[in-house]
Amino acid sequence: MATNLNKEQKLFVEEINNNILVSASAGSGKTTTMIEKLKKLILFNKVPVENLLVVTFTEAAASEMKQKLYVKLAEEIAAMDLPESEINYFYEQLFNISTADIGTLHSV
């Protein structure tokens, strides 16, 4: 379930082991791009949700990000042909999204 990302957004999603600052105006696709990055980390790099720290500016944005991450991850998992052992791992990651460290600077 690919999302249409521009060149810079794709670079961000693919980059691993480097610090990257994402700065863009409202409505430019920051949340969508971040969801794609998180999805890649969880599904393909096997980074557990509990190891992630995602900081946003508002509680509303953090809540929206958790909700969107859950939906996109669930869609991706359902579309993949996975062995039972991996399915259990990914469902555990879905369960952990509700308590993930996704929030504002003050809340995390």
> Each residue of 15-34: pLDDT tens digit?
888 777 777 888 888 889 99
Is the pLDDT at 70 greater than 50? The verdict is yes
> Each residue of 87-104: pLDDT tens digit?
999 999 999 999 999 999
| Residue 27 DSSP class | T
pTM: 0.87
Alpha carbon distance 18, 22 (integer Å): 13
> How many Cβ atoms are within 10 Å of 39's Cβ, its own excluded?
20
> Each residue of 36-62: pLDDT tens digit?
999 999 999 999 999 999 988 889 989
Residue 1's pLDDT is 47
Residue 85's pLDDT is 80
